[in-house]
Amino acid sequence: MRKAKLLGSLSLITVLTASIVSGCSSSGGNSNNSGNTPAASADTADTGASSAPAENNPFKDHMDISLSWWGIGVGFQQHDDLVQKLEKDFNVTLKPVDIGWDTYKEKNQVWAAAGQLPDIITNSIVNDNPGTYNEWVSQELIHPLPDDLSAYPNVEKVAKAPDVQGVYRDGKLYAIPRMTYPNTDMWAVDRAIYVRKDWMDKLGIKDPQSFDEFHAMLKAFAEQDPDGNGKKDTTGIVMNTLGYFKSVFMPAFPQYDNSSWLQEDGKWIPFYASKQMDQVVTQARKLYADGALDQDFAVEKAGEANQKFYQGKAGALAYNVGSVSGPTGIKAEWEKNNPGEKFFDHVKILHLWPAADGTVYRHTTQSFWSESMINAEVDDKKLDRILRIYDWLLSPEAKEMYDYGIEGKDYTKSGDQITITRPKDGDNYIDLHKEYPSLDIIQALAAWRDASALEDSPANRVAKGDDVVDFIQGELKWQMDNAKAIPTAFDIFSMSTPAKDKLSAINFDDDFIRIVLGKDDPVKMLHDVQKSYDGKGLQDAIKEVTEQMAKQGK
Amino acid sequence: MGKSIGKELYKFRYLYLLLLPTLLYYALFQYLPMYGVLLAFKDFHIREGILGSPWIGLSNFKELVGQSDFWKAFWNTVYISCGRIIFEFPVAIILALMINEVAREKLKKFYQTVYTFPHFISWVIISGIMFNFLGSAGVLNELLALLGFEKVTFLTDPSLFRPIVFISSIWKEVGWSAIIYLAAIAGINPELYEAAYVDGAGRFQQLLSVTWPSIRGTAGILLILAVGNAMNGGFDQIFNLYNPGVYSTGDIIDTYVYRSAFDSGLGFGVTTAIGLFKAVLNFALLYSANFIVKRLGGEGLV
């Protein structure tokens, strides 16, 4: 009896010990544990993107491919038909690896250090932290793409785009940049200031033609009880994130809006070193101090403040045009909070006033943001499979899937005629994004689909409604007709010099917020901040970049 | 001699076996990862790993000392930690003494539960609650506005940040910290109170002459531990409560390291150097606090 007890406790200890040890050692291999899913048969793979002969089938071997994406855990949870189609067509099992918008760069750094990067890495260091990108390249964490991309014509097109050339290192491309728009013009509608036109009418305010008028309008929103509830519970402008709010200062200093470099006194300098920032901080402080700017903007998380606009607690919202649409878009959310009211009867986009030189500026930036990287551990066969998937994701057939769903199930096609067959929910067809939670992820994996979301197509008219499509088209047209893109030194975004790479230690947004919230003279605070940047190598970076630009004759 | 040790080991073999998982735990999770501090003296190359990366002497430390933001964070940590010891530490003792004086057992339990509960809410949640309380449209500001006062920017005012940190931390942790003192109080021999009562001591005198001397040792040890923890400053709380507006008074070493390592790419080497620097300081503080407590007649830890 006693012996049995002892044996029992002994085995318990052994199990405990073993579990501790094994728990430690099993963390290493999350990427290559293939073989636990039955391989799809080779002939089903033939229905996929390319129809290779059976004996030379590039999809013969089944593979597990892990990929990271913002919120992929939820998006792939249902393992919906889209994911299944992709997995079947390419004979792979997709292993989702979740990342969050607030922490993805940190996660990638930690995974890199721990050797746990997924096969396909979603990252945004090429432009945001070129120094880190160089480090990843030099430490061989990521796979260069093959020199010859002719087997993947759609990927090749991206690799040959003019502003992707700055991403090459020693003639090799280590990332597939995620293109946003076919050209830099369409960025114009990535900034928009929504405003309550009913409030403007009520208070007798016309479209502001200068910052002072804009300021006066927002101040009136905060102080003159525009919603007529007898309480002083409204504010002027709220922002989705600080980036969108920067457009307010485009007339004062265009390059602040897109955080680019500019030439001043014969030198190339980053926007935060410019003399023109004086005016920006002065204006921003004025907005905050007078209550024209949301008093909580520094504390709120991304998107949190939008609610204030939806709930009629704010007169203006800094965001972008495209976000008006969709089931959680601005229009839908606003109408949810104001039952029975039509969004377009109450809200319009406010156009910015001309800058000192008489020009109305519009937002622009590089034609891509963020990138897919391939883990250096991936072998050539898997690399080929990944590139084939990407090539297909960028193809016209894939676009058709993003627009209409799965052929035979959601639509039928004869010639060029597409007939939508998916069920209706009330007047509209059920939303594809609701039917396939993975759609948002799959359609954006290789390239952002911002352009197709903005275009005037039958698919968009069906999905978004005529009023929304007209609204977006109208805004796009207005920007093209009336505004000029911010003069932008695109080359410098992904330029890498030793001192410039170190500038990533500067977080100007933090200092900007501190200046806006502060009590001292904003211009003096700004100048102190600018001086402190010299200690972080600002002047060296300016010197190096100016030299580089001089070499290019700029 | 050796034989007798072996004999002893064999005699108590099952006890030692029971100890083994704990030893393994410490070896695997506490001592083994310690070799990571080597990074402080190395130029970290991700692919080559910690051991394979080249040595670079003290240059990580030199880079660190040159950062003005680091010194700001260092002094903030010192101020916040001192504040915690001065403001937060005694509150738990006072609460324990007060709960102990509650005569009805059920009421005592009730208070204890109420005060302990917030300990189980995470700082993420609390920061959300605080935003609803202290934001510009929060309860407190609405109240102020109703009474005709100006609204106060509680969450972005650098001069208010530290008091908010102390108060919220007291609210969250005081009940939990008081448990140890309550346990110590429960262990006091009731005869001592009877003797004091017979000698004519009132409740307050009993508290001063019986209860406090009995828990002074516990308080001393907890004080040593608190001082030894001083360079940490409470990452969880600060990280969830701060924003760029209050970096000047609220950014502590840990939050600075976090932002530096991940956002601005200061590099793992430099940030490990900061960690090592902090650990050495903590160690020194622990020892000196221990020395002082012993000198003052307390028991001390080591």
CB A167 within 8 A of CB A126: yes
Tell me whether A532 touches chain B (CB under 8 Å): yes
Tell me whether A106 touches chain B (CB under 8 Å): yes
CB within 8 Å: B155 and A299:
yes
Nearest C-alpha neighbor of A128 from the set A546, A506, A526: A506
**Which residue from B28, B247, B265 is facing A505, i.e. has the nearest CB?**
B265
Cα distances (angstroms) measured from residue B181 to each of A227, B186, B205, B208: 55, 8, 19, 15
Cα distances (angstroms) measured from residue B152 to each of A313, B158, B247: 19, 12, 18
Provide the shortest C-alpha distance from residue B213 to chain A (in Å): 42
Three-class DSSP category at A37: coil
Residues A52-75 as b or e (16 or more Cβ within 10 Å = b): eeeeebbbeebbbbbbbbbebeeb
Q: Can you give the pLDDT at residue B295?
A: 86
**Which residue from A6, A232, A507 is facing B264, i.e. has the nearest CB?**
A507
Distance, in Å, from the CA atom of A465 to the CA atom of A343, rounded to the nearest integer, reads 13
CB within 8 Å: B136 and A513:
no
Contact list, B12 vs chain A (CB under 8 Å): none
- Helix A277-289 vs helix A522-534: crossing angle, to nearest 10: 130
**Which residue from A13, A300, A504 is facing B21, i.e. has the nearest CB?**
A13
CB within 8 Å: B28 and A235:
no
**Which residue from A233, A504, A514 is facing B245, i.e. has the nearest CB?**
A514
Three-class DSSP category at B237: helix
Distance, in Å, from the CA atom of B122 to the CA atom of B125, rounded to the nearest integer, reads 6
Distance, in Å, from the CA atom of A48 to the CA atom of A59, rounded to the nearest integer, reads 9
Tell me whether A25 touches chain B (CB under 8 Å): no
Provide the shortest C-alpha distance from residue A550 to chain B (in Å): 28
**Which residue from A112, A113, A514 is facing B244, i.e. has the nearest CB?**
A514
Helix, strand, coil percentages for chain A (3-state, nearest 5): 50, 15, 35
Q: Can you give the pLDDT at residue B270?
A: 84
CB within 8 Å: B268 and A113:
yes
Tokens coding A488: 């932008």
Distance, in Å, from the CA atom of A229 to the CA atom of A226, rounded to the nearest integer, reads 8
The CATH superfamily assigned to A57-184+364-461 is Periplasmic binding protein-like II (3.40.190.10)
Pairs of residues, one from chain A and one from chain B, whose beta carbons lie less than 8 Å apart: 98
Contact list, B44 vs chain A (CB under 8 Å): 113
User: Could you report how far apart the first and last alpha carbons of chain A are, in Å?
Assistant: 90
**Which residue from B45, B48, B265 is facing A132, i.e. has the nearest CB?**
B265
CB within 8 Å: A511 and B265:
no
Tokens coding B8: 């002893």
Tell me whether A18 touches chain B (CB under 8 Å): no
CB within 8 Å: B47 and A113:
no
Tell me whether A17 touches chain B (CB under 8 Å): yes
Q: Each residue of B53-72: pLDDT tens digit?
A: 889 889 888 888 888 888 99
Q: Can you give the pLDDT at residue A7?
A: 53
Question: Helical H runs in A233-329?
Answer: 242-245, 254-257, 277-289, 306-310
DSSP letter for A130, please.
H
Distance, in Å, from the CA atom of B245 to the CA atom of B156, rounded to the nearest integer, reads 5
Residues A212-242 as b or e (16 or more Cβ within 10 Å = b): eebbebbbbbbeebbbeeeeeebbbbbbbbb
Q: Each residue of A331-377: pLDDT tens digit?
A: 999 999 999 999 999 999 999 999 999 999 999 998 888 999 999 99
Find the residue in A nearest to B127 (Cα): A299
Match domain A192-362+487-551 to its CATH number in 3.10.450.50, 3.40.190.10, 3.40.718.10, 3.40.50.1980: 3.40.190.10
Contact list, A16 vs chain B (CB under 8 Å): 21
Which residues are registered as beta bridge partners of B203?
A: none
Query: Could you say which residues from 111 to 140 on chain A have a Cβ atom under 8 Å away from some Cβ of chain B?
Result: 112-113, 129, 131-132, 135-136, 139-140
Q: Which residue has the tokens 């728009």?
A: A181
CB within 8 Å: A294 and B136:
yes
Q: Can you give the pLDDT at residue A37?
A: 39
CB within 8 Å: B21 and A16:
yes
- The burial of B151, by beta-carbon neighbours within 10 Å (0-12 exposed, 13-18 middle, 19 or more buried), is given as middle
Nearest C-alpha neighbor of A193 from the set A346, A333, A348: A348
Tell me whether B200 touches chain A (CB under 8 Å): no
Tokens coding A499: 């001192």
Q: What is the CA radius of gyration of chain A?
A: 27
In terms of residues, how long is chain B? 302
Find the residue in B nearest to A508 (Cα): B244
Find the residue in A nearest to B155 (Cα): A299
Distance, in Å, from the CA atom of B165 to the CA atom of B174, rounded to the nearest integer, reads 13
Distance, in Å, from the CA atom of A250 to the CA atom of A253, rounded to the nearest integer, reads 5
Listing DSSP states for A179-218 in one string gives E--SSGGGGGGG-EEEEEHHHHHHTT-PPPSSHHHHHHHH
CB within 8 Å: B245 and A504:
no
Q: Can you give the pLDDT at residue A363?
A: 96
CB within 8 Å: B265 and A532:
no
Helix, strand, coil percentages for chain B (3-state, nearest 5): 80, 0, 20
In terms of residues, how long is chain A? 554
Q: Can you give the pLDDT at residue A26?
A: 42
Which of A299, A513, A534 to mutate: most B Cβ within 10 Å?
Answer: A299
Find the residue in B nearest to A15 (Cα): B21
Q: Can you give the pLDDT at residue A482?
A: 96
Tell me whether A4 touches chain B (CB under 8 Å): no
**Which residue from A141, A294, A505 is facing B264, i.e. has the nearest CB?**
A505
- Helix A380-393 vs helix A396-404: crossing angle, to nearest 10: 60
Nearest C-alpha neighbor of A119 from the set A74, A79, A63: A63
Find the residue in B nearest to A106 (Cα): B262
Tokens coding A410: 């959601």
CB within 8 Å: A20 and B264:
no
Q: Which residue has the tokens 């993975």?
A: A438
| Annotated domain spans of chain A | 57-184+364-461, 192-362+487-551
Question: Helical H runs in A247-359?
Answer: 254-257, 277-289, 306-310, 330-337, 343-346
Listing DSSP states for A344-374 in one string gives HHHEEEEPPPP-TTSPPEE----SEEEEEEE
Q: Each residue of B210-267: pLDDT tens digit?
A: 999 999 888 988 998 899 888 888 999 999 999 999 999 999 999 998 887 766 666 7
ipTM of the modeled complex: 0.79
Nearest C-alpha neighbor of B204 from the set B64, B101, B81: B101
Distance, in Å, from the CA atom of B36 to the CA atom of B188, rounded to the nearest integer, reads 45
Q: Does domain B67-295 have CATH number 3.40.449.10?
A: no
Tell me whether B68 touches chain A (CB under 8 Å): yes
Find the residue in A nearest to B241 (Cα): A299
Nearest C-alpha neighbor of A241 from the set A434, A102, A372, A125: A102
Provide the shortest C-alpha distance from residue A177 to chain B (in Å): 21
Query: ∠ at Cα A142 (A138, A146), nearest 5°?
Result: 105
What percentage of chain B has pLDDT greater than the value 90? Answer: 55
Cα distances (angstroms) measured from residue B127 to each of A159, A200, B135, B152: 45, 35, 11, 17
Question: Helical H runs in A35-103?
Answer: 42-45, 72-75, 81-89
Find the residue in A nearest to B266 (Cα): A505
The pLDDT profile of chain A, 554 residues, written as one tens digit per residue, is 455 555 555 555 555 455 544 444 444 334 443 333 344 444 444 444 444 455 578 898 999 999 999 999 999 999 999 999 999 999 999 999 999 887 788 889 889 888 899 999 999 998 888 888 988 998 899 999 999 999 999 999 999 988 788 889 989 999 999 998 877 788 999 999 999 999 999 999 999 999 999 999 999 999 999 998 888 889 999 999 999 999 999 999 999 999 999 999 999 999 999 999 999 999 999 999 999 999 999 998 888 899 999 999 999 999 999 999 988 899 999 999 999 999 999 999 999 999 999 999 999 998 888 999 999 999 999 999 999 999 999 999 999 999 889 998 899 988 888 888 888 877 777 888 888 999 999 999 999 988 888 888 888 888 888 999 999 999 999 999 999 999 998 888 888 888 998 888 888 999 999 999 999 999 999 999 999 999 889 999 999 999 999 988 87
Number of C-beta neighbours around residue A94 at 10 A: 24
* Mean pLDDT confidence for B62-88: 90
Distance, in Å, from the CA atom of A163 to the CA atom of B69, rounded to the nearest integer, reads 35
pLDDT for residue B120 is more than 60 = yes
Provide the shortest C-alpha distance from residue A6 to chain B (in Å): 8
Tell me whether A105 touches chain B (CB under 8 Å): yes
Listing DSSP states for A404-438 in one string gives H-SBTTTEEEETTEEEE-SPEETTEEPPHHHH-TT
Tell me whether A16 touches chain B (CB under 8 Å): yes
CB within 8 Å: B24 and A313:
no
| Annotated domain spans of chain B | 1-57, 67-295
CB A444 within 8 A of CB A454: no
Tell me whether A21 touches chain B (CB under 8 Å): yes
- The burial of A415, by beta-carbon neighbours within 10 Å (0-12 exposed, 13-18 middle, 19 or more buried), is given as exposed
DSSP letter for A146, please.
P
Provide the shortest C-alpha distance from residue A300 to chain B (in Å): 9
* Mean pLDDT confidence for B190-207: 92
Distance, in Å, from the CA atom of B199 to the CA atom of B213, rounded to the nearest integer, reads 17
**Which residue from B17, B28, B263 is facing A10, i.e. has the nearest CB?**
B17
Q: Can you give the pLDDT at residue A11?
A: 56
